[in-house]
Structure 1
Amino acid sequence: MSSYGMTRARTVGAIAQAVTEAGGSLGRLFGRAGMPLTLLDTPDRLILLRDQLALVAAALREIGDPALPARLSMQTGIVGLGPIGAQVRSAETLGAALHRVEVVTPLLLQTATWTGQRRQGDDAFYGYGITERIERGRQANEVLALGYLLGTVRHFLGPAWRPERAVVTGATLAGRAEIEACLGCTVSFGPRAGLAFPARHLDAANPSRLDPTELSPAETKPIGEDLPACVCHLIELGLDEARPLIDAVARRLGLSRRTLQRRLEQAGTGFADLRRDVTRRRAEALLSTSTQSIGRIAIDLGYSDPAHFTRAFLEWTGATPSQWRRSVHAEADARSRR
C-alpha cells in the first residue's frame, strides 16, 4: 500500500468560487498551492491529499477567512462528495450510513484518511482523521471535514440539528469564534477531529432514501493508491501545464529522483513507461473528442513539434494521429447508422 494519500478534486471548484467572490486571485491561489487551474474542469480527477490541504491553506491566506472551510463544506453538502454522498443517501439509518462511510471513503473518495463513528455508552463520536504525516493545512482540512460530517448527520436529523460539540486536533484554532458560529456548537481539542452527539441519533431513519441500484459505476469505482497509480495521476496533472518530468513528480512526492526510480522498479515499472501510457491515453482522448489540430494536440502534450508526436503515436498504436482519428470517427459513424 502506498503512504501517499489521494483525493478527488471535488472541493476545488467551491474553493475557487469562494476566493473569486471575496475578490481574491485564482492565479495566485493555484500558484501558491502549485496546482493547475484545469482542475476546475475535472472534479473527479485524483490529486494528492497533501495538495488539497495546501490549496485550502492557500485559500485561507488569500482571503483571510478562518471559517471558510466550514462554510464551503456546509454549502456544498454531502451531494458535493459524489460517491460518498450517494452512499450516505442510500443507507437506511444514520448508523448504517456512518458505517458505510467508514468502509468506502478510503476506497472511493480519499485515501490516507479515516472517517467513521465510535460509540461509548450513550454518546457517539463521528470522526475524521488524516493518517498520512502531513502538517501544512491539516487543521483547516479538519474544519472542512467537519462541515461535511455535519451535512451527513443533518440529512437524517434535519437542517436545524446541532452537535453537542465539535473537535479538532492541536492546541489552538485561529478564528475559533467564527468557526463555532458557523458550525453552531463549541469547538474543543482532542486527538481526532469530529462531532459528538447522543448515540440514540444513530437509529434515525433516512427521510429521503436513494435507491442503491441507481448508483452509477463512477460512484463505486475504487481509487488506485499504489505508487505507480499515484505517479500516473501526477503525470496527468503535469500534462495540463507541460511535459511532466520525473524530477518534478519526485519533488511533489517528497522523494529523490533515485528513490522514486527504485520504488517504481520494485513495482515492476518505470517512469518512462508510465508517462508513455498516460500520454497515449490523453492523446487518444483528444483525438477522439476534440477538433483540435494535430499540431495543437502535440503542443498540449508537451512535444516540440507535430513530427515528434506523430512518430511517438505511430510507435504506440501502429497508426499516425490522423489515421487513428479517421478510424475512430468512421467507427462512430458506423455505430450511429446501425
Structure 2
Amino acid sequence: MINNNRQKQKDLITNSTGTFGGLSGALVQSLKSYGIDYKDIFSNIGLSTDINQNFNNRIKKDQFIQLLQDCVAATKDEAFPIEAGKRIHPTMLHHIGLSSLASESLRDLFNRLDRFQSLISDDFSVEMQREEETSKLLVIEKLDTCYTEQAPALLIKDAILAAILRAIRIVFDPDFVPKAVFTTRNPSEKAKSKIQEYFRSTIHYGADYVALEVPNALIDAKLPGANPELAKIYDKASLDQLANLQKQTFTIKVENIIISNLKDGSASKEYVADLLHMSSRNLQKKLKKEDTSFKDILEDVRCRLAVKLLKDGSQTVGEIAISLGYSNTANFSRAFKKWTGSYPVNYIKTH
C-alpha cells in the first residue's frame, strides 16, 4: 500500500525544467555595477561561471531563489532584484524575445509569453487579469513544481516585475509609467527610494500579489515595431525549441524525485519507478533514450549537493552523508573522492 506521503509526491510530479539559464547574464551585469565579482556567488550554488554555458542550461527553482538571495546579501541592497530585472532585455530570451519585439500589441506580447512560458520558466509565469478599466499583469509562482517547501520567492517575483516594465518600455514607450505597482515585499526605506525611481508610480507594498496595473486602452494599442510576419517566423522557432525541451523533461523529473527523497533513503530505482507508475525496467529504457541512466543521475545529484553543502559549511561531513542517503561517513567519503579526486575533509580545507 502506498502511504500518504508517497501519494502526495505522485500528485505533485510535474514536468518542471526550471528557468532559462541565460537570465543569469542580467545578474552578472547587475553585480558588476556594484563592483562585485559574480564567480564565487555562482559557483557556491553549483552554477557555471561561464555565462555562455548557462545559456544552454536551466536553473532549478531552489538554485534561482538561493542565487538571488546571495546577490542581495553580497550587495547589501534589498532593491537588487529591481536592478537585475531592469537589465533583462528581450533578446536574452532568444526566439521568444525576438517575436515579442515584433508583437502587434501588449496583449499580443503577453499572450505570446503565456504560450511559450515554459521556454523561460516552469516555476514562474505572467498572467493578464482584465478588469473594467485596467488590466493587471500578475507574476505567479507555480508552487506545484516543488516537492519540498521553498523559501519565499518574493525576490524573483520583483525581478520579473521589473523585467515586465523594461519590456513594455522597449516595445511601447521608454517613458511608460504603470497606473500602479503591487508587491508583497516591504523593504527598507532606502530600497523603496530606488524602487520608486525605477517604477515612477504608486507602489503598494505588502500587497497580496505582485503585479503591474496598466490601462486597457494601452493594452490593445498598436505597437510601433509591430511586424506580424516576423513574429510568425520566430514563433515557429519557439515551437521547435519547446518541442525539444519537452523531450528532455523525464530526466529532470527523475532528478527532482531523487533530490526530495535522498535524506530518508527512499531514492532507489524501484521507489522512483513506482512513483512514476512504471516498472524499473521501463524507467531505465526511458532514461536510456535521453542518453543517461538512473545510476548516473543519482551520482550526479549526490555530487552536486555534496559540493554545495561542503562549501556552505553549516553541516558536518557525517550530517551531509546522512542527508545524501549514505548509511555511513566512510561510504560517502569514498564516493566523494571518486567524484572529485579528494576526500571531503581535504576538499573543505582547499575550498
Q: Same fold (TM over 0.5)?
A: yes
Counterparts in 2 of 1:273 and 1:10: CA distance versus 1, 3 Å: same
Task: State which of 214, 221, 230 in structure 1 corresponds to 2:252.
Answer: 230
1:12 offset after TM fit, Å? 1.1
Looking at structure 2, the residues matched to 117 and 271 of structure 1 have their Cα atoms a distance apart, in angstroms, of 41
Counterpart of 1:91 (choices 84, 87, 103) is 103
- Cα deviation, 1:276-303, whole Å, max 9, x if unaligned, reads 95469xxxxxxxxxxxxxxxxxxxx969
Q: Distance in 1 between matches of 2:170 and 2:162?
A: 12
Query: TM (normalized to structure 1)?
Result: 0.67
Q: Find out whether 1:250 has 2:258 as its counterpart.
A: yes
Per-residue deviation, 1:255: 6.9
Whole-angstrom distance in 2 between the partners of 1:55 and 1:153? 26
Given residue 108 of structure 1, which amino acid in structure 2 is its aligned partner? L
Structure 2, gaps ≥5 residues long:
1-12, 294-337, 342-351
Residue of structure 2 equivalent to 1:169: 184
Shift of 1:42: 2.9
Question: For residues 27 and 250 of structure 1, do their structure 2 counterparts lie closer, same or farther at Cα, with a shift above 3 Å needed?
Answer: farther
Shift of 1:259: 4.3
| 2-structure distance, mates of 1:275, 1:256 | 27
What is the aligned residue count?
Answer: 268
Q: Which of the numbers 120, 124, 138 marks the counterpart of 1:127?
A: 138
Closer, same or farther: CA 179–275 of 1 in aligned 2, 3 Å: farther
Q: Retained in 1: the 8 A contact 2:105–2:223?
A: yes
Off by >4 Å, runs of 4+ in structure 1: 252-257, 267-273, 275-280, 301-304
Match of 1:195 in 2: 212
Pair 1:135–1:302, CA change in 2 (3 A)? closer
TM-score, normalisation: structure 2 = 0.65
Cα contact 2:15–2:253 (8 A) shared by 1: no
User: Does the C-alpha gap of structure 1 residues 256 and 112 become closer, same or farther in structure 2, counting only changes over 3 Å?
Assistant: farther
Whether 2:201 is the aligned partner of 1:179: answer: no
Amino acid at match of 1:215: Y
Aligned AA for 2:62?
R
1:204: Cα distance to partner? 1.2
Q: Which runs of 5+ in 1 are unaligned?
A: 235-247, 281-300, 305-338
Question: Could you say if the C-alpha distance between residues 23 and 164 of structure 1 is closer, same or farther in structure 2, counting changes exceeding 3 Å?
Answer: same
